[in-house]
């Protein structure tokens, strides 16, 4: 009986941690989309790639960076960070994947620096949207 209770207690502790790790990976993928997406558009435009003019990709990318920059300017914390912290109960990730993704995603710097970087990245995205405009396919 005691063994079953310990198993349930362990599952109760691990469940939120696994959810928090999954959320952390999603957060990292969104960050990679925002940062990598613009860099790939620059490279793709230089190489003449047609995919860089895909309006779905370009406007989703613009929306993502505008959301991040706006929440930073308004002083809001990222909801993904808040949900992850809530699932972890304030503890740091303990899993291998969680620790590495956490290190890649979170840096120690003043909040104002991140806000400036997000706004500049958003402006670079807008400028790129103007210089390399998306196009709809001809019907």
- Residue-by-residue pLDDT tens, the chain, 139 positions: 555 555 444 444 556 778 888 888 899 899 999 999 999 999 999 999 999 999 999 999 999 999 999 999 999 988 988 888 888 787 666 665 666 677 767 777 888 988 999 999 999 999 999 999 998 765 5
Res 132: pLDDT: 95
The secondary structure of the chain in percent helix, strand, coil, rounded to multiples of 5, reads 80, 0, 20
Q: Is residue 23 part of a domain?
A: yes
Residue 83 buriedness (CB in 10 A; 0-12 / 13-18 / 19+): middle
Q: Which residue is it, tokens 């740091």?
A: 92
Long-range contacts of 32-41 (CB under 8 A, 24+ apart): 33/61, 33/64, 34/61, 34/64, 34/65, 34/68, 34/121, 35/121, 37/61, 37/64, 38/65, 38/121, 38/124, 38/125, 38/128, 41/128, 41/132
Question: Within a domain: residue 125?
Answer: yes
Judge if pTM exceeds 0.95: no
Determine, yes or no, domain membership for 88.
yes
124 falls within a domain: yes
pLDDT digits (tens, 9 = 90+) for 39-57: 999 999 999 999 999 999 9
Residue whose token pair is 């002083």: 75
- CA distance linking residue 100 with residue 18, whole number of Å: 14
- In a domain, residue 136? The reply is no
Entry field: residues in the chain: 139
Residue 139 lies in a domain: no
Total structural domains in the chain? 1
């Amino acid at each position: 009986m005691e063994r079953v209770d310990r198993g349930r207690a362990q599952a109760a502790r691990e469940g939120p941690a696994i959810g928090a790790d999954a959320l952390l990976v999603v957060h990292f993928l969104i960050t990679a989309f925002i940062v990598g997406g613009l860099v790939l558009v620059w490279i793709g435009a230089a190489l003449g790639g047609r995919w860089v003019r895909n309006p779905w990709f370009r406007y989703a990318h613009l929306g993502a960076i505008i959301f991040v920059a706006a929440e930073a300017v308004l002083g809001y914390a990222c909801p993904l960070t808040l949900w992850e912290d809530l699932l972890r109960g304030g503890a740091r990730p303990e899993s291998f994947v969680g620790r590495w993704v956490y290190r890649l995603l979170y840096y120690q710097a003043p909040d104002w620096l991140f806000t400036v970087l997000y706004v500049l990245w958003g402006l670079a995205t807008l400028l790129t949207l103007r210089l390399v405009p998306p196009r709809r396919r001809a019907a």
